[in-house]
A and B are shown apart, each in its own frame.
Chain A
């Protein structure tokens, strides 16, 4: 669980870095998208790096979802009769919503892939088509509801990462002392804000007109 989660996390850092190239302008972003595909050539075939990453992500996804399903099932069976009254004292909302949060991200990811990678749908009626990644992105986020979907998803992601980061460190045994535990909690916040925030910048900027075609 921790390892697969961290693989996601690593991917997201790279992905976010790529996305932030939006601020560098149309060409820079497109060049990056292109570079991704030809990275390592001729040692790797076209899209080589991309496929390595994809395979890694798929493996991580399968592991992560499998582990999530097993953990959920065990938790269900561990308490079949519920409390009439149950208070939460120490747990964060994010820790208690990991399952729903993860599911939201999964649904989002499917939609996201349809949107940008597999389907390349450009929902904007005024759109210029889908061949140009930069334009596709900007035109999509000019639609308020597209941005809302993304922003909501980023919120879910932030929540998931807030607890996920701390949890992964705890799982990996990196929280042996009270100080280390406090550090891991802070790391949870930092990762959540940086990543979810970083991603959110793109649709926000488009919406507010900072980034445009």
Chain B
């Protein structure tokens, strides 16, 4: 492979011809990563670690770093930077750092250890990740991710993470998410929890050592910029309601993903975009916001009371067969009474080669089409259709284990999946050993996030972004078990090696609360809180969130169209106006007030939702998690438009009422060849 040395294979920069989003944005300067590494891809990170300047251990104590978020990315970063001797202030909105939403990850974490000798390598993991991301990620970043992945496992084992082991006492792996090698390390169905507890314990150790100061039940509500540099945050103590300013030499945002913009998602109730959106409003670019990942195997919505969706591991698709009734009139029948010839195993029918194991986005879209046709199953839920009428739609397809039970026996199936089956039964009240499970896709992960350079620094000096909060290494689509890898890579190994280059110039000028820019940031926050409490309208923040979620899911969900997105933007603007005049938040600002917290998050989601639609509208191509109906092959497959869109869309805040500004960063591949994917 001649291109391994990073010199031969070079793609052409894209030139955009279509302009669907005209009128909604202005075009800004092209963007380049100012610290992009060069040279052979396998040496880039090693060289960079060497080139980056060091900070004398004696000086580290005098430097402070704020880290917002205690998930895998934030927790790992706090622990590591604390160990290095910096003064770290860590923030999370939960009552303990251990509760960050990383805890919910089930499946596993990838690492190119090649323990199975099945041909895995750093390069293969790199290759799979870039390809899986539909060639919309930066190759240098992805290579680095693959490179440090092995160290992550070492680190976690040393911390006492109880990974699954073989009889001989060595670590076990499995293959996950359709890749052909076994590189996924796991701890039963609770990998995220175990990894997070490892990072949390490492961080608590630093709290005891005095290097990390922990602020729980604190929500970041504003970024503080002084002379153009990120120098702190404004946070609200959620218990006392006190608005506090915290100042430092650098700020790290590791605040997770914004999938909750859809209201229903597999994210935690408190997952929000506020931390990154506030930074965006202060000038940080938001990259590829429209890239969302929808997971096909979630438990369907059971009614409009639903507050969140629960994911069930993808592994279920290995043994379950997905079908819907052929006839609409069979949809409310007991599935066991529907004869074999009246069932449509649609994935096996359309994708005979991959069958039920097609990639997440394909499986998800196919389920949506079945339900749109009226062949969905399960309870009908209220929806508003494209013409604004209320309709009742069944949103679910069967995932049937009858074959597997017949073939392997119920005990074997039980052994493999009992915890998932139990969880399903608890939530739905139905026994999946007897009745086919019902599943439906749900929003699960966002690939978009704040734009960062190779050092994970945003375009605001001193503002670093890690984990799901940055636009990350996953391009337009993330492979299973790669988000945990990225969060820990960022936190343990990347940030500590890049932030030092920035801090080599610190400590910066001393500032205190009385600095006018700090004062202004704080007053903004106080003003906003006062505003929420004084609108005194009639609708709860939650009801706005639901309305926004409906719009996003309908028009910016699994399938996006030009007309739909335009309509969505109008609807969101209307919703925003209504929100600011008709919101009702009870209680006071100086106590625990969950409605107030919610109002702030919803306000930011509304603005983000609009930008997501604009980004989706602009990107007239289908790639990864983004499917534009206008860009598909004759048989309905996603069609990428590399000549036009092989770029990162980095959006700059255009001011209140203004238009967002689009900066394009071209994606140039030197170490890998771009290919269209096909699963037929």
Direct A–B touching, Cβ under 8 Å = no
